[in-house]
Amino acid sequence: MMRFNLLPEQDRGRSQARPDTLRFATIGAWALTGLVVLGTLFHFGLLREAREEARLLRPRVDALRMSQAELASLRRANDELEQEIASVHSSVYAAENEAALALLTDIAASVPENSWLENLYVAAGQDVFADGFAGDTGELSRLLQSLRQARGVAGVELTAMGRVSDTDGPRREFSFWLTLEEGRP
């Protein structure tokens, strides 16, 4: 193997590095090593503190987890109660509708064949106002009498009656109030 020295002849055999450079490099290497060791120790200290803090917080975390479980249980129970309340409300609403439908069925059954109701208004759950037409006063009288006998009706008051002409003959236009018994729709 052959070696060639490419340095000029006056520099051959002498080191290019100055003694101060080597000293600074050594000091720098020691300083860097010291910084690495200090950083490592600092991070180990932080790790120890974090573990100690986690150990101290563990009972509180466990208590919070138990509280969360209890809260979730209460929320489920609350949801179940809300569903029950909604079910009760819907059944009460259905019962009220059944009573209202029964009243409307009774009113419809009371109307004679040659008569009809044009408008039917329910006022605040206690009174019903209606107007319509009847073939003659006999039919109107039968309508009022059958309304008085309907379930849940406390009273019937004829408020207006008039005669109108129609192609089929004279008719009676009328209006009346139904007063309902307490607790009816």
pLDDT in tens, the chain (185 residues): 777 777 777 766 666 556 677 788 889 999 999 999 999 999 999 999 999 999 999 999 999 999 999 999 999 999 999 998 888 877 766 666 677 777 788 888 888 888 888 888 876 566 888 899 888 888 888 888 888 888 778 889 999 998 887 776 778 899 998 888 876 55
The crossing angle, in degrees rounded to 10, of helices 137-148 and 19-110 is 120
pLDDT value for 14 = 63
pLDDT of residue 111: 84
Q: What pLDDT score does 117 carry?
A: 87
pLDDT of residue 134: 87
Return the pLDDT at 25: 87
3-class SS at 61?
Answer: helix
Which residue is it, tokens 């010291």? Answer: 34
Question: What pLDDT, on a 0 to 100 scale, did the predictor assign at position 17?
Answer: 56
Residue 129 and residue 113: Cα distance in Å, rounded? Answer: 20
pTM for this model (two decimals) = 0.46
What is the structure's pLDDT at 139? 86
Predicted pLDDT of residue 63: 92
Nearest to 117 by CA among 131, 101, 102, 96: 131
Number of other CB atoms surrounding residue 104 within 10 Å = 14
For residue 152, give the nearest of 97, 109, 107, 116 by alpha carbon. Answer: 107
Task: Determine the Cα–Cα distance for residues 21 and 24; give it in Å rounded to an integer.
Answer: 5
Tell me, what's the pLDDT at 41?
A: 95
